[in-house]
Amino acid sequence: MNVPVPHEHIAGGSPLYQLEPEHAVALLALAALAVVVALRFRPRDLSRLAPIDWLLFTVLAGSSAIHVGLAIADTHHGPGVQLLFLIDAVLLAVVARRVLRGGSAGRLGVVVLLGSVVAYWGSGIGGNAPDQLGIATKLGEILALAIIVRPKLDLRPHRVAGFTRGAFMTVLVVGTAASSWVGAFRASADTPDAVSGHHVHAGGVAAPGTVHPDVAQREPTPAERAAATQLVATARTALAKYNDPAVAAADGYHVAGMAGIDFHATNPAYEKDGRILDPSRPETLVYGVAPNGRPVLLGAMFQMPGIDQPGPAIGGPLTVWHAHEHICISLTPPSLTGILSPLGTCPFGSFDIPLTAQMIHIWIVPGAPETIGDLDDEWKRTYLRAVASRP
């Protein structure tokens, strides 16, 4: 079963959808910049620059202020990273000053902004968890780049050049979103080369789309171990009849369209019956389809009736419930289409569910390395291949 590895607490969802507490200093620096600009410039000063140049100055100066705040607050990555933040802040301020004086950001602006964005990509690929401030800052810098490389009004538009600029900006936006995905998942994985799951891990960072409650560092008591063991044993007996999907369908489970290694067959009636963690009436059955097309019952998922109700941890740290945040749902047909992207979008035709009720998985297949919580996908595939090879 999943026993939490040593750590103090894990709480909340992925930083991908939030603001890291230590980054509040960067917001204070941005607010301080806004106050200085408001005191320094009067309405008549606005005529000194074109509106587009004021926008460019605002984005550059704002990014500089944010990097100053990060240089002060982001201590857990070491002095080297803090120095890089400070250098970036200074260079952005130099370019912003040029624009404010009526000059051009020029090649220096392109190099500084492009370097800042690419450095963010490297941070994500290296496994650093992104947050909304970092993503918003990079999108702002991409906007500044678009302003700098925009065609001049006195030049005839060139289709090839316009397409190249558009493609370049698209690559920057997609690269920023993709590196944010990579950083979010790598930061939440057990090891640098692993992918994250629903379980509590050493990193203390939740996977995108997953929310864990506080989990104290302690060993389960003998009574908690016994309760968890009994729960699994009872579930194995009660769920055995659902090895036949036809029986599950007769009891109200939606088994149509079964596919993949992690098919969740829900039972709307059981979701509303008020029973909590009843091994004989799980809200969802979990099937995997073997390579020969045979459906195999892997386990069940139990879900709380409401998002404000914590799941009963009858096994203490052995029965850690989780919820999902920012998942994308389609109504035609009703299905899960993914999780909210770093840029705040769902796949076309689906909408965002900010938070679900808490849930927990119990696995009843013989030899499962984990019987409560998260079951490794590769283990599932291996098991399903073994099932397919049997006569």
Domain positions in the chain = 15-187, 218-322+358-389
In this structure, are residues 266 and 301 in contact, taking their beta carbons and an 8 Å threshold? no
Please give the structure tokens belonging to residue 338: 């993914």
Kind and range of the H or E run holding 174? helix 159-187
Evaluate whether 259 touches 242 at the Cβ level (below 8 Å). no
What are the start-end ranges of the E strands in 88-229?
Answer: 210-211
Q: Say how many Å lie between the first and final Cα of the chain, rounded.
A: 31
Distance of alpha carbon 159 from alpha carbon 71, whole angstroms: 42
Burial letters 264-283, b for 16+ CB under 10 A, else e: bbbbeebeeeeeebebebbb
Instruction: Report pLDDT for 190.
Output: 54
Indicate whether this model's pTM tops 0.85: no
Residue-level pLDDT at 333: 73
Ranges of residues in the chain whose predicted pLDDT is under 50: 1-10, 191-197, 199-203
Strand 350-355, strand 334-339: pairing: unpaired
* pLDDT score of 8: 34
305-359 pLDDT per residue, tens: 988 889 998 999 899 899 999 999 988 777 788 899 999 999 988 999 999 999 9
How many angstroms separate the CA atoms of 261 and 161, rounded? Answer: 47
pLDDT digit string, tens, across residues 344-373: 999 988 999 999 999 999 999 999 999 999
Query: What's the Cα-to-Cα distance from 225 to each of 23, 120, 155, 302, rounded to whole Å?
Result: 40, 44, 75, 19
Instruction: Specify the residue for token string 């009004």.
Output: 153
